[in-house]
Amino acid sequence: MWQHFKAIVTELIVSHIPLKGDKFRKKKGHWLHPTTIRMIKKRDSAWKKYIHFKSNTNYNSYKTIRNKVNSMIRADGDAFRKSLFKGFKTKPKKFYSYIRNLQTVKDAATVLQKPDSTLTTTDDETAETLKNQYQKIFVTEPPFDPSNTTVGITDGPSIENVSFDSSKVLHKLQRMKTDGSPGPDGLRPMVLVNCAASVAEPVLFL
The pLDDT of residue 42 is: 95
Is position 134 within any domain? yes
Is position 198 within any domain? yes
The pLDDT of residue 114 is: 83
Query: Which of 81, 102, 123 is a domain's end point?
Result: 102
Is position 205 within any domain? yes
Is position 9 within any domain? no
Residue ranges making up the domain that contains 86? 34-102
- Together in a domain, 43 and 96: yes
Contact present, 72 and 33 (Cβ < 8 Å) = yes
Is position 200 within any domain? yes
Instruction: Find the mean pLDDT for residues 90-106.
Output: 78
Comparison of pLDDT for 159 and 90, the residue scoring more: 90
> Which pLDDT tens digit goes with each residue over 74-97?
999 899 889 888 888 888 888 888
122-152 burial, b at 16+ Cβ within 10 Å, e below that, comes to eeebbeebeeeeeeeeeeeeeeeeeeeeeee
The pLDDT of residue 154 is: 57
Comparison of pLDDT for 59 and 128, the residue scoring more: 59
Q: Pick the closest to residue 75 from 34, 36, 26 (CA basis).
A: 36
Q: In which region does residue 97 sit, left (phi positive, over 0), alpha (psi from -120 to 50) or beta (all else)? A: alpha
- Together in a domain, 97 and 113: no
Count: domains in the chain: 3
The pLDDT of residue 102 is: 76
> Which pLDDT tens digit goes with each residue over 43-52?
999 999 999 9
Q: Does pLDDT of 24 surpass 50?
A: no
163 pLDDT band, cuts 50/70/90, is confident
Is position 97 within any domain? yes
- Together in a domain, 42 and 95: yes
Q: Does pLDDT of 60 surpass 50?
A: yes
- Together in a domain, 40 and 98: yes
DSSP state of 1: -
- Together in a domain, 62 and 115: no
Is position 85 within any domain? yes
- Together in a domain, 88 and 130: no
Is position 77 within any domain? yes
- Together in a domain, 52 and 98: yes
The pLDDT of residue 58 is: 92
